[in-house]
């Protein structure tokens, strides 16, 4: 892996101070969901839009800094993880240029992933961010967001040293009570509802989990394959 990519500055006014004493302990990944990189840069630096991120990485690997890490960028929106709700205050946000599900969702090119990996390795080393807290936008806002989505190569990113990707257990299918599934998902960090039956909130959580950990099973249902994967991911987040 090469060193940190060259970073170009394009300051965004959409930022403010982090609350005193807040520890940065989340690296949050997004896709831009816009037709072009320039359109995304314009929006993320438009004061009227009131959205931003710390970094943006184009498909060719070009990296832009929009907000300094010491400041709070406005990228997560209404979100939560492991009981914490002000995700912007405790995170560094990286936007990846991609048309998204609305404009022709596609895989993230190698050059983009290489820049992301190099930048992320530097951030998590400097900020001492746990690997278990390298997250996608859909993880923290499952009722609203799909990004970076099922085509994002989480496994490849983990192989480069960024984030978790537990290998599937020998049994790829497992029976699990719905209430237990929600409990384990909550332990992982998802805002899973306390319920014994499927409802809209539970389906959103399951879809977010599948997008991240089991993109071959985008059903929003507690299938045997998803149950087995929940056990794998829970074990990775709670090593004995």
- Kindly give the residue spans of alpha helices, DSSP state H, lying in 66-164: 87-90, 100-103, 110-127, 137-140, 154-159
Helix (H) or strand (E) holding 9: strand 7-9
The CB density around residue 218, as the number of other CB atoms within 10 Å, is: 14
Q: Is the dihedral of CA 113, 116, 122, 125 positive or negative?
A: negative
pLDDT on residue 1:
47
Edge-to-edge strands, sheet with 55-57: 7-9, 63-65, 55-57, 91-96, 26-31, 134-136
Domain boundaries, the chain: 7-159, 178-237
Please state, in angstroms and as integers, the Cα–Cα distance from residue 114 to each residue in 30, 37, 119, 167, 211, following that order: 16, 17, 9, 22, 21
Active-site residue, from 59, 95, 146, 225: 95
Catalytic status, residue 95: yes
In the CATH scheme, what is the code of domain 7-159?
3.40.80.10
Distance (Å, whole) CA 193 – CA 215? 22
Picking from 221, 218, 122, 228, the residue whose alpha carbon sits closest to that of residue 166 is: 228
Q: Give the phi and the psi of residue 52 in degrees, each rounded to 5.
A: -165, -175
Its pTM surpasses 0.85: yes
Residue with tokens 């332990």: 187
Can you give the pLDDT of all 240 residues of the chain as single tens digits? Answer: 458 899 999 999 999 999 999 999 999 999 999 999 999 999 999 999 999 999 999 999 999 999 999 999 999 999 999 999 999 999 999 999 999 999 999 999 999 999 999 999 999 999 999 999 999 999 999 999 999 999 999 999 999 999 999 998 877 777 899 999 999 999 999 999 999 999 999 999 999 999 999 999 999 999 999 999 999 999 999 876
3-state secondary structure of 155: helix
Cα 30 → chain centroid = 6
Helix (H) or strand (E) holding 17: strand 15-17
């Amino acid at each position: 892996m090469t060193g940190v990519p060259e970073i170009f500055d394009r300051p965004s006014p959409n930022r403010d101070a982090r609350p005193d004493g807040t520890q940065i302990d989340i690296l949050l990944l997004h896709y831009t969901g816009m037709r072009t990189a320039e359109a995304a840069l314009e929006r993320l630096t438009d004061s009227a839009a009131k959205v931003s991120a710390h970094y943006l990485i184009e498909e060719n690997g070009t990296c832009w800094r929009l907000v300094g890490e010491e400041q709070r960028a406005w990228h997560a929106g209404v979100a939560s993880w492991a009981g914490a709700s002000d995700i912007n205050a405790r995170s560094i946000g990286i936007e990846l240029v991609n048309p998204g599900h609305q404009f022709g969702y596609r895989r993230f090119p190698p050059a983009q992933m290489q820049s992301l990996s190099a930048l992320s390795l530097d951030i998590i080393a400097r900020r001492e961010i746990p690997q278990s807290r390298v997250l996608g936008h859909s993880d923290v806002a499952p009722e609203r967001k799909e990004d970076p989505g099922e085509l994002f190569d989480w496994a490849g990113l983990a192989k480069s040293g960024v984030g978790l990707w537990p290998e599937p257990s020998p049994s790829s299918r497992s029976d699990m009570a719905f209430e237990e599934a929600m409990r384990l998902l909550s332990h992982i960090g998802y805002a899973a509802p306390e319920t014994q039956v499927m409802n809209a909130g539970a389906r959103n959580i399951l879809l977010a989990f599948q997008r991240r950990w089991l993109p071959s099973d985008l059903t929003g249902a507690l299938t045997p394959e998803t149950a087995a994967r929940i056990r794998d991911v829970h074990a990775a987040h709670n090593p004995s």
